[in-house]
């Protein structure tokens, strides 16, 4: 009886070892593929989630949802898509905070901090995420802005606008805008107004995580188009 038990234990031990070896072989084959799928692609993107903290931006006409929260939701989803594709991503903020250090000149202090983050990252592209608002409630759609002084940014913004028009319910044109975050640094930059919180239909979409991911994926597609197209 002892001999039979010993033989059974030996068979079990051999089976366990064989299973462990097989698992190592499988992992050795799979892991390199996983690593290569997220290998760095050599591009750096700064994502600026507009507003934050004491500066909530505009609010939804019917929900009262803060622009800053929606901006951050889109920004985080965009970061996910970019990282999955091998981009190096830098965020100007990752929480509901502002970057101001000077209470007396709040806005300038906040924007200066964002400028430093962008300059330190020296990115291939900076994308600032915002939401729009307009008295005429029927106005809707995503729109891209660029600094008039940068031909590169203009070209990138126009290509991004084409992508957003094709993937979202939008029919707008990219425009130049005198926004500090666009003009303060020398890197290619664009500001994306994802939609209008003054439009009830668009607002209902923008406050949902699902649509924020959809918008983020459209922007991600546009980034691929301008940096690798």
Give the rounded percent of residues in the chain with a pLDDT score beyond 90. 81
Q: Are residues 126 and 61 in the same domain?
A: yes
Q: Are residues 18 and 69 in the same domain?
A: no
Q: Which residues sit opposite 192 in a β-bridge?
A: 129, 144
Average pLDDT, the chain: 88
**pTM recorded for the entire structure:** 0.84
pLDDT per position as a tens digit, 6-54: 444 544 444 444 444 343 333 344 444 333 457 899 999 999 999 999 9
Residue 229's pLDDT is what? 87
Between 97 and 22, residue with greater pLDDT: 97
Pairing assessment for the beta strands 88-91 and 125-132 based on DSSP bridges: unpaired
Q: Are residues 73 and 175 in the same domain?
A: yes
Cα dihedral sign for 202, 205, 207, 213? Answer: negative
> Are the C-beta atoms of 175 and 147 separated by less than 8 Å?
no
Q: Are residues 30 and 57 in the same domain?
A: no
Range of the domain at 17: 1-34
Q: Are residues 25 and 101 in the same domain?
A: no
> Residue 83: which residues within 8 A CB-CB, separation 6 or more?
38, 89
For residue 73, the tally of other CB atoms under 10 A from its CB is 22
Q: Are residues 45 and 24 in the same domain?
A: no
Task: Say how many domains are in the chain.
Answer: 2
> Are the C-beta atoms of 93 and 72 separated by less than 8 Å?
yes
> Are the C-beta atoms of 90 and 127 separated by less than 8 Å?
no
Closest CA to 64 of 198, 210, 160, 161: 198
The Cα 97–Cα 75 span in angstroms is 14
Between 3 and 95, residue with greater pLDDT: 95
Q: Is the pLDDT of residue 124 over 90?
A: yes
The DSSP output letter for 44 is: E
Residue 5's pLDDT is what? 41
Q: Are residues 8 and 78 in the same domain?
A: no
Residue 104's pLDDT is what? 82
Q: Are residues 29 and 112 in the same domain?
A: no
SS3 at position 124: coil
Q: Are residues 97 and 133 in the same domain?
A: yes
Radius of gyration of the chain (CA): 24
Q: Are residues 52 and 20 in the same domain?
A: no
The Cα 137–Cα 199 span in angstroms is 5
Residue whose entry in the numeric block shows the structure tokens 């091998």: 86
Q: Are residues 153 and 222 in the same domain?
A: yes
Q: Are residues 87 and 12 in the same domain?
A: no
């Amino acid at each position: 009886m002892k001999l039979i038990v010993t033989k059974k234990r030996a068979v079990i031990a051999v089976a366990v070892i064989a299973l462990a070896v097989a698992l190592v072989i499988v992992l050795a084959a799979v892991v390199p593929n996983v690593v290569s799928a997220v290998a760095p692609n050599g591009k750096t993107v700064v994502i600026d989630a507009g507003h934050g903290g004491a500066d909530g931006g505009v609010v939804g006409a019917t929900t009262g949802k803060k622009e800053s929260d929606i901006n951050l939701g889109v920004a985080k989803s965009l970061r996910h898509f970019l990282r999955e594709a091998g981009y190096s991503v830098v965020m100007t903020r990752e929480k509901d905070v502002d970057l101001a250090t000077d209470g007396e000149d709040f806005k300038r202090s906040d924007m200066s901090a964002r400028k430093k983050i962008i300059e330190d990252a020296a990115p291939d592209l900076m994308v600032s995420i915002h939401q729009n608002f307009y008295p005429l409630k029927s106005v809707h759609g995503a729109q891209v802005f660029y600094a008039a002084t940068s031909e590169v940014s203009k070209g990138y913004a126009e290509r991004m606008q084409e992508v957003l028009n094709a993937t979202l319910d939008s029919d707008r044109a990219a425009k130049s805008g005198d926004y500090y975050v666009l003009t303060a640094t020398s890197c290619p930059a664009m500001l994306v107004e994802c939609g209008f919180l003054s439009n009830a239909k668009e607002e209902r979409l923008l406050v949902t995580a699902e649509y924020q991911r959809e918008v983020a994926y459209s922007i991600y597609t546009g980034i691929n188009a301008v940096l690798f197209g």
